[in-house]
Structure 1
Amino acid sequence: MVVQLSLETGDIAPTEETGSGALVFAADLAYRLMSIVNVIFYGDPAMGNGWVLIDTGLPTSKNTIVKTAQARFGQGTRPAAIIMTHGHFDHSGSLEALARHWKVPVYAHPLEFPYLDGRASYPPADALVGGGAMALLTPLFPRSPVDVRQWLKMLPPDQSVPAMPGWKWLHTPGHSPGHISLFRESDRTMIAGDAIVTTGQESIYEVMTQKPEMHGPPRYLTPDWEDAERSVAMLANLEPELVITGHGPPVRGEHMRACLHELAANFSAIAIPEGRPYVLDPAKPGKSGNDAYR
């Protein structure tokens, strides 16, 4: 039985369109929906102290991202860094083009390096997870790695986030081996990547309408459900006030947190596709994730 955790209209964080094409949902955070996935811009244009791009959308997103950044931060602007929550095609689609264009460092968890330096492809999608036509289309999704080894850098071992003071990165695997989320404790703002999503991804209807619901990671590209469950529990325990995910609108408040806790408490019933969970050996860098920081 599929359990749905519906979010209410009041759970959606207010947004403002400032003319850049991005929707501003906090003084220093804006996002733009690139067809099916969110690209996030960190930085307050009024402060003039630089900005960071978080994920890079689809292969067709490069020009839109550049134009959006110029409209928000000024002509000729470039970020201090690109932060990757993970390297699936809808998050890294324009990474190579943007890294070449801006020539800026790209930061990721070392367990994600094989998919970002050309060494390995992700495991195949699981098209039979059910829930809609989007899942059935997943065999057509690109799996090949991108190659940005020239700019690729390891996230700092102290969990700080380059050019994002006050933020820390969290290893939230499951959807991918090196998946990360970002958290700012001062106002409990969370950038969750695909560790959780706030609209269903298996149904084309939900993808198109962006119906607000609390979900676990997209089912068709999540190879390790045990890790995914632990990651959701970690995020719920942080009691976030404002959350933006890779798919769906930014959400906030007490009811959102209640839905997140229910997802964590009943993860098997809500998130894991019945009879379809799978764990495949991921590609690995030269050292384990913890050893890579020693």
Structure 2
Amino acid sequence: MWKEVVRAAGSYAFDHVLVRLEMDPIITVNQEERWIDVPVRIGESRNVVRVQGTGTTENPEFVVSSKNDEEKDLLLHRIQDLFQWDVDLDQIKQHFRKTNLSTLFNDYPGTPIVKDFHLYDCLMKVIIHQQLNMKFAYTLSSRFVQTFGELVDGVWFYPTPERVARLEYEQLRELQFSQRKAEYVIDTSRKIADGELDLAQLSTLTDDEAMKELTKIRGIGPWTVENWLMFGLGRTDLYPKADIGVQNALKRYFQMDRKPTKEEMVEMSDDWDPYKSYASITLWRSIEG
């Protein structure tokens, strides 16, 4: 068993991270004790890494621990990457102080991009969640993981693409998936298992290149790709203008009597580059709870 103390580069709202992650029923979170157990796959091994917050938003500090002593460095590096502790969120706040979102970033400081735990898991989740209300979306993704995934030390791991590729559509239909969504999940998993779709290779492309490649796949549209880029890869300049949550947050923040049009959203974001993803997640935060 190893433990390591890690500090973030700038302000970091870990308690908000816990609230957001606990929205997903399969993620093991304890808000009172301020920890989360993270499932980490390295090759064939399944590891549970605990991340506990011991600092404040202004002075963030974390204790990271796991049973796997042999792969400590790999696990620690993965956790630091997932939680994006090397990103100085204070610098990003300084950027937005010169924009029309200055008040938003003062009210909600230190809002990080926390990446989903694995690229495949993230893609499956956004495919499952697309065009569904949040409650039913998490119901479906939870059923998917708890039926076909693996429970290790009380923590759920998503099924592998090879496991999902062997499923029949009817097995997902039994979980209340629509026929089309069952096809999207299984057919995409088959492309990954067969090597036709390489998510690691896609992660080396630009946002526009990845968008072009992924939207060729049946069932994957721009909203899905934008969310995968943001939460799978941690890309910093995504602004999902079709997202209802972003639209509602902008309506509230700018005190509009209706949701903004896409043209208005483009105009609003004129000086947000290259951090539109941080604008998006801070807007989401402003209307959560």
Q: Which has a greater percent of strand?
A: 1
Rg comparison, structure with higher value: 2
Identify the structure with the greater helix proportion.
Answer: 2
Please indicate the TM-score interval, normalised by the length of the shorter structure.
under 0.3
Report the TM-score, using the length of structure 2 for normalisation. Answer: 0.27
